[in-house]
Amino acid sequence: MIKAKGYAAQSSGSKLEPWEFDRRTIGTRDVLIQILFCGVCHTDLHMVNSDWGPGTFPMVPGHEIVGRIIETGKEVSKFKIGDHAGVGVMVDSCGTCPDCQAHQEQFCSVSPVQTYGSKGYDGLTTYGGYSNVIVVDEKFTHLISDKLNLAATAPLLCAGITTYSPLKKWKVGKGHQLAVVGLGGLGHMAVKFGIALGAEVTVLSTSETKREDAKALGAHHFVVTTDVEELATVKSKFDFILDTVSAKHDLNLYITLLKTDGVHICVGIPNEPFSLSPFSLPNGNKVVAGSGAGGLSETQEMLDFCAAHDIVSEIELIDIKEIHPAFDRMIKGHVRYRFVIDLSTLR
């Protein structure tokens, strides 16, 4: 086993505190990564608090991991020592079910192994990136270009792929009107990707204070959705709406902004169910769709796309000891746009 140290919650809702633990021994196809940076995702807080069901504790959160390869198994061919590498939301899957065969490992129907709070096929609990090292199968490890700022790349492993994947699935691009609901960790990445793909991008927000931020990110338009007159100007305008909001909100409002055959894509996950009028969708053949992360090949495609288009997340780098103030600010939306932990502060 490999000795590791990190920050862990010992029980549901408890504070993250320093904790020493064991990583599995490196297998023939594994890589050992020295973690340099780890993004802070809202999912981390949900998982620590068991908001989505009972968690597995002790829990070391973190699934936006970037670092440096420091050791490789004898059959590893994808990486060499010194390469920059990333790990996202999953670290294993069955590899044989229809979803895995279709390169959608994130939906593995047998047993997808999440990066933390999950049980691996070896029976060991997985621990995430709020730590100094991690052992991962090379198949579930992504190569990161030296062109990219490493710290600002970390959120791409979740926020990046979560917004890139639906835009690619629905072939959003030149000639399309794309609206992004919410300008947070996910929303600001959706704006960057939408522009890079050639769409005309409008940010929809309840907050006037986000207008200048949206403009700085390159958004073509900005609409305050609580302004009735402003909202009326975009009725039936959009081919696609990418909804990144994780708080309760009214989908019926946004569906009126879609063109005929328009698609509203949900990537945010509110704690309460959506409510839809039965008349919302038939009137104009509207579609409400969901999207959850992306598979291994698509995640690597996204990282390569980012390297080619100079796209990274806008981040605030923090000391790991600042994680709870960061959680508090994240809940209040007081971060532009993603916290990233500098793991050198763990050492």
Domain with 246 in it: what CATH number? 3.40.50.720
Question: Please, which pLDDT band fits residue 48 given cuts at 50, 70 and 90?
Answer: very high
Query: Residues 311-326: what's their mean pLDDT?
Result: 98
d(CA 113, CA 22): 18
Find all residues with CB under 8 Å of 3, minimum gap 6, and list them: 20, 22, 23
Nearest residue to 320 via CA among 86, 105, 37: 37
| Mean confidence (pLDDT) of the chain | 96
Supply the Cα-derived Rg of the chain in whole angstroms.
20
The least confident of 34-38, 51-55, 99-103, 321-325 is: 51-55
pLDDT > 70 in the chain, percent: 100
Q: Kindly state whether residues 212 and 139 are assigned to the same domain.
A: no
Q: Kindly state whether residues 168 and 253 are assigned to the same domain.
A: yes
Take residue 296 and report the two structure tokens written for it.
């291994």
Q: What per-residue confidence (pLDDT) applies to 140? A: 98
d(CA 169, CA 291): 9
In this predicted structure, the answer to whether residue 297 has a pLDDT above a threshold of 90 is yes
Q: What per-residue confidence (pLDDT) applies to 138? A: 98
Question: Please, which pLDDT band fits residue 270 given cuts at 50, 70 and 90?
Answer: confident
Whether 309 is covered by a domain: the verdict is: no
Q: Kindly state whether residues 151 and 192 are assigned to the same domain.
A: no
Query: Residues 255-266: what's their mean pLDDT?
Result: 98
pTM, 2 dp = 0.95
Domain endpoint, select from 275, 290, 305: 290
Eight-state DSSP code of residue 159: H
In this predicted structure, the answer to whether residue 347 has a pLDDT above a threshold of 80 is no
d(CA 286, CA 198): 23
Q: Kindly state whether residues 89 and 118 are assigned to the same domain.
A: yes
Q: Kindly state whether residues 325 and 243 are assigned to the same domain.
A: no
Condensed to tens digits (0 to 9), the pLDDT of residues 27-38 reads: 999 999 999 999
Q: Kindly state whether residues 109 and 16 are assigned to the same domain.
A: yes
Q: What per-residue confidence (pLDDT) applies to 52? A: 86
CATH at 147: 3.90.180.10
Q: Kindly state whether residues 269 and 190 are assigned to the same domain.
A: yes
Find all residues with CB under 8 Å of 224, minimum gap 6, and list them: 205, 206, 207, 208, 211, 230, 231
Whether 304 is covered by a domain: the verdict is: no
Whether 305 is covered by a domain: the verdict is: no
- The percent helix, strand, coil of the chain (3-state, each to 5) is 30, 30, 45
What does each C-alpha distance from 82 to 23, 26, 34, 77, 304 come to in angstroms?
Answer: 20, 17, 10, 14, 19
Q: Kindly state whether residues 197 and 84 are assigned to the same domain.
A: no
Domain endpoint, select from 290, 306, 327: 290
Q: Domain limits at 6?
A: 2-155+314-345
Whether 236 is covered by a domain: the verdict is: yes
8 Å CB contact between 150 and 313? no
Whether 303 is covered by a domain: the verdict is: no
Whether 44 is covered by a domain: the verdict is: yes
Q: Kindly state whether residues 173 and 258 are assigned to the same domain.
A: yes
Question: Please, which pLDDT band fits residue 111 given cuts at 50, 70 and 90?
Answer: confident
Whether 13 is covered by a domain: the verdict is: yes
More reliable by pLDDT, 213 or 332: 213
Condensed to tens digits (0 to 9), the pLDDT of residues 68-106 reads: 999 999 999 999 999 999 999 999 999 999 999 999 999
Q: Kindly state whether residues 260 and 324 are assigned to the same domain.
A: no
Q: What per-residue confidence (pLDDT) applies to 247? A: 86
Query: Residues 311-334: what's their mean pLDDT?
Result: 95
CB-based burial of residue 336 (10 Å sphere; 0-12 exposed, 13-18 middle, 19+ buried)? middle
Condensed to tens digits (0 to 9), the pLDDT of residues 179-220 reads: 999 999 999 999 999 999 999 999 999 999 999 999 999 999
8 Å CB contact between 36 and 78? no
Q: Kindly state whether residues 264 and 213 are assigned to the same domain.
A: yes
In this predicted structure, the answer to whether residue 242 has a pLDDT above a threshold of 80 is yes
Q: Kindly state whether residues 193 and 286 are assigned to the same domain.
A: yes
d(CA 198, CA 178): 10
Counting the structural domains of the chain, the total is: 2
